[in-house]
């Protein structure tokens, strides 16, 4: 009798680590395959550095097929056209199919550029959501430096990833100062958040005070409760609203370089699958990261549905940070191990969050246990050490991906010392 087939859909931060950890946890009891769009892993957290020329894209790239093969994991970079959970099958983009016994969805999001007129890297704004787009943003940045004009950075309504927006604003400020032209480039930060430092989490520690102070020190103006109406070639039109959602003021901001984090939605291969995803295409999961309707399907990372922390005048999504995603990975790997042993799954991800926001010459770090309030730990700090820590984390995480490791013993030991766990019942 052949072993059950576990398919991991997506090979980003969560999917790649999931493949390694699931293969290790179920060794000898299942075969593991990965379906991804493309053959490479990209370390997306470093994309703001690419946008100002501090990193070359190749430095963030890992070619996955040989690493997966080394660990006995089948891999295809063909990509998925449609998931068919009723028949345990995925239709691939080359018209072939792959059948599964268990499916782990880790696709990340689809970037909803089309929801705002003139928005996106193929239109009038730049993007750091993908490394190739960040490289295009770098070319536009060089044009800005040659012909200084205002900069607009931030996030659009419905976005659920705010850290990179703050990082991008501060890194731009740092690089423009290095080039001696910061005084020629007015900067404005726009966001749907009700206040600076909300982050989709209703703040962590004093992120409001820390980030507001940082932006004042760097002479970055901001507009909160902001809804983007449209974007023209060199002008963005936004509406600022009151706490009750009524219109407060309209802004027409000229720019020479504009980067906004977009709203996310589920990928096309998942859209419209009732019971599997919500109306936005995000995967529905229970406390064991398992879909309530299709019990052999699990979800992790940016692609899963998490309700907002509370109502806001403009839609603000909840981020899924790196460690939070890794906690989902560990829960799924252990639950699959239990299922293959004939048991019911018992493991729950802690959803603890550790975040390093680099500002080029400093930064802000926070720990939220758990990420969604109310919390047991709610801490934020700042300093030059954050920039150095982010560099170290980049090198460390890329090494994990290249070696095919999920959690080396020294990482587990360090987290244990800090009292930060991936599972709620370790």
Q: Whole-angstrom Cα distance, residue 270 to residue 106?
A: 11
161 is catalytic: yes
Please calculate the CA angle 31-33-38 and round it to the nearest 5 degrees: 165
| Numbers of helices and strands, H then E, in the chain | 9, 22
Per DSSP, 318 falls in state P
Q: Among positive and negative, which fits the CA dihedral 366, 367, 368, 371?
A: positive
* DSSP run (H or E) holding 233: none
User: Among the options 129, 258, 303, 355, which is catalytic?
Assistant: 355
* Nearest Cα residue to 365 out of 391, 384, 389, 386: 386
Alpha-carbon distances of 316 from 158, 198, 397, rounded to whole Å: 5, 9, 29
* Nearest Cα residue to 319 out of 158, 195, 180: 158
Q: Whole-angstrom Cα distance, residue 50 to residue 132?
A: 9
Q: Whole-angstrom Cα distance, residue 85 to residue 296?
A: 9
User: Among the options 129, 161, 258, 303, which is catalytic?
Assistant: 161
Contacts of 275 (CB under 8 A, 6+ apart): 284, 291, 292, 293, 294
Please calculate the CA angle 147-148-150 and round it to the nearest 5 degrees: 135
* Nearest Cα residue to 325 out of 163, 127, 108: 108
Q: Whole-angstrom Cα distance, residue 109 to residue 299?
A: 12
Q: Among positive and negative, which fits the CA dihedral 370, 374, 376, 380?
A: positive
b/e 180-201 (16+ beta carbons within 10 angstroms → b) = eebeebbbbbbbbbbbbbbbbb
Contacts of 371 (CB under 8 A, 6+ apart): 201, 319, 321, 324, 351, 352, 353
Q: Whole-angstrom Cα distance, residue 228 to residue 139?
A: 24
Q: Whole-angstrom Cα distance, residue 367 to residue 297?
A: 30
Question: Annotated catalytic sites, by residue?
Answer: 161, 355
């Amino acid at each position: 009798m052949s072993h059950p087939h576990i398919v991991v859909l997506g090979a980003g931060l969560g999917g790649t680590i999931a493949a390694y950890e699931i293969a290790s946890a179920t060794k000898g009891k299942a075969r593991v395959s990965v379906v991804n769009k493309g053959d490479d892993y990209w370390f997306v957290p470093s994309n703001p550095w690419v946008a100002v020329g501090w990193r070359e894209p190749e430095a963030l790239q890992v070619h996955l097929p040989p690493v997966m093969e080394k660990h006995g994991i089948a891999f295809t970079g063909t990509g998925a056209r449609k998931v068919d959970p009723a028949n345990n099958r995925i239709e691939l983009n080359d018209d072939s199919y792959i059948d599964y016994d268990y499916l782990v969805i880790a696709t990340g999001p689809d970037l909803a550029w089309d929801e705002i007129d003139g928005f996106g890297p193929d239109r009038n704004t730049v993007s750091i959501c993908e490394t190739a787009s960040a490289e295009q943003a770098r070319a536009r940045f060089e044009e800005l430096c040659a012909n200084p004009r205002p900069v607009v950075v931030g996030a659009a309504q419905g976005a659920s990833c705010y850290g990179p927006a703050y990082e991008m604003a501060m890194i731009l400020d740092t690089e423009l100062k290095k080039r001696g032209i910061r005084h020629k480039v007015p900067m404005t930060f726009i966001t749907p958040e009700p206040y600076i430092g909300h982050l989709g989490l209703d703040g962590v520690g004093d992120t409001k005070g820390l980030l507001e102070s940082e932006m004042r020190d760097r002479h970055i103006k901001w507009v909160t409760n902001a809804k983007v109406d449209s974007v023209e070639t060199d002008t963005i039109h936004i509406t600022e609203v009151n706490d009750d959602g009524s219109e407060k003021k309209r802004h027409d901001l000229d720019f020479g370089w504009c980067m906004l984090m977009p709203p996310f939605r589920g990928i096309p291969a998942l859209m419209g699958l009732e019971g599997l995803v919500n109306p936005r295409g995000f995967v529905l999961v229970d406390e064991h990261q398992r879909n309530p309707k299709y019990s052999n399907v699990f979800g992790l990372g940016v692609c899963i549905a998490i309700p907002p922390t509370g109502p806001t005048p403009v839609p603000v999504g909840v981020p899924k940070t790196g460690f939070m995603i890794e906690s989902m990975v560990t829960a799924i790997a252990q639950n699959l191990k239990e299922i293959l042993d004939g048991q019911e799954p018992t493991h729950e991800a802690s959803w603890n969050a550790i975040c390093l926001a680099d500002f080029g010459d400093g930064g802000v770090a926070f720990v939220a246990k758990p990420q969604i309030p109310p919390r047991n730990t709610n801490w934020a700090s700042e300093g030059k050490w954050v920039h150095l820590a982010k560099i170290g984390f980049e090198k460390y995480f890329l090494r994990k991906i290249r070696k095919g490791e999920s959690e080396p013993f020294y990482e587990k030991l360090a987290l244990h010392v800090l009292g930060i766990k991936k599972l709620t019942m370790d």
